[in-house]
């Protein structure tokens, strides 16, 4: 099993509740990113925790449909589930025990997979679990591949906020890219996104992708910054859940295509990401959607 991108992180079932209805679909930020890459035509291997249960089998079947290979850690409490109550397409989350106590089995087989990768993406990870963070750092030390991180923190998954920040910053210090939203900055630091961007560049992150909801996104390095607004679209917003994961997937594809040096034109990457996010949020669920201008 080999792919240019290895995606490590959260895999679960999204149970979406709105207007007295409930719909369950495969989700989790790492799964959304891996499947998003498949939609974009870029292969990846997904590493995440699922259970030996019906939800786990649903996830396996869904990934098979998209041609995404899964390296599973079998969770002792079954498959994670995120229950989101929605108002106007905006979710608020609750998580089951399997999600809260998630983790990745870090062994020699995973080390071999990561050592062959051209790019490693971490999307959703228990950075407040010291043993998991130590294992992740050892895993990444065995690979020459660049690392991109979207922590994708959720309030219901943070058992130790200080520990989470410390673990994330350790991993991010050598990352080629860190993605953070304005909501992430508020949750983790109680600071504006610009201040948190500066913090991560100071830690050693080579680039920081900042997403700002209705205000678009920006990409920052120590030498330059570029920004792009959201894409104007008269169609109603249906579901905002997949916007961040779609943006991250587009950016990962650009990093993978560019190699170690990174994309030469971040403005074009951001334009593509904003078009993709604009299309994704006009469909239900988190599946990345291709904008007609990009097809």
Q: What is the pLDDT of residue 11?
A: 98
Q: What is the per-residue pLDDT for 240?
A: 87
**Dihedral over alpha carbons 60, 64, 70, 74 (to 10 degrees):** 10
Supply 81's token pair: 């589930």
What was the pLDDT predicted at 285?
Answer: 86
pLDDT in tens, 179-196: 999 999 999 999 999 999
Look up the pTM and report it.
0.94
**247 Cβ partners below 8 Å, 6+ apart?**
179, 209, 211, 217, 273, 274, 276, 277
CA separation (Å) from 249 to 90, 218, 270?
A: 21, 15, 12
Q: Which residues sit opposite 148 in a β-bridge?
A: 121, 177
Tens of pLDDT along 97-121? 999 999 999 999 999 999 999 999 9
Low-confidence ranges of the chain (pLDDT < 50): none
Q: Pairing state of beta strands 44-50 and 69-74?
A: parallel
The predicted structure's pLDDT at residue 134: 96
**259 close to 156: Cβ distance less than 8 angstroms:** no
Residue 227: the pLDDT is 96
Residue 77: the pLDDT is 96
């Amino acid at each position: 099993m080999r792919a240019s991108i290895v995606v490590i992180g959260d895999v679960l079932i999204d149970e979406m509740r709105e207007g007295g209805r409930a719909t369950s679909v495969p989700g989790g930020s790492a799964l959304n990113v891996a499947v998003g890459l498949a939609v974009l035509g870029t292969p990846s291997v997904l590493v995440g925790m699922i259970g030996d249960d019906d939800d786990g089998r649903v996830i396996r079947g869904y990934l098979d449909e998209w041609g995404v290979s899964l390296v599973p850690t079998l969770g002792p409490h079954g498959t994670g589930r995120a229950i989101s109550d929605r108002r106007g397409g905006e979710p608020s989350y609750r998580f089951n025990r399997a999600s809260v106590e998630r983790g990745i089995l870090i062994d020699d087989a995973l080390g071999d997979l990561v050592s062959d990768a051209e790019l490693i993406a971490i999307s959703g990870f228990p950075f407040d679990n010291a043993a998991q963070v130590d294992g992740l750092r050892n895993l990444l030390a065995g690979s020459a591949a660049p690392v991109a991180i979207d922590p994708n923190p959720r309030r219901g998954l943070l058992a130790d906020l200080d520990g989470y920040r410390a673990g994330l910053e350790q991993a991010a210090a050598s990352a080629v890219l860190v993605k953070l939203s304005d909501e992430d900055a508020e949750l983790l630091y109680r600071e504006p996104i610009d201040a948190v961007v500066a913090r991560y560049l100071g830690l050693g992150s080579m680039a920081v992708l900042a997403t700002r909801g209705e205000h678009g996104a920006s990409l920052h390095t120590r030498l330059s910054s570029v920004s792009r607004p959201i894409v104007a679209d008269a169609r109603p917003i249906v579901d905002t859940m997949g916007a961040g994961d779609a943006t991250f997937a587009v950016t990962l594809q650009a990093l993978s295509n560019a190699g170690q040096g990174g994309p030469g034109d971040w403005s074009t990457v951001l334009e593509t990401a904003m078009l993709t996010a604009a299309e994704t949020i006009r469909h239900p669920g988190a599946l990345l959607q291709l904008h007609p201008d990009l097809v």
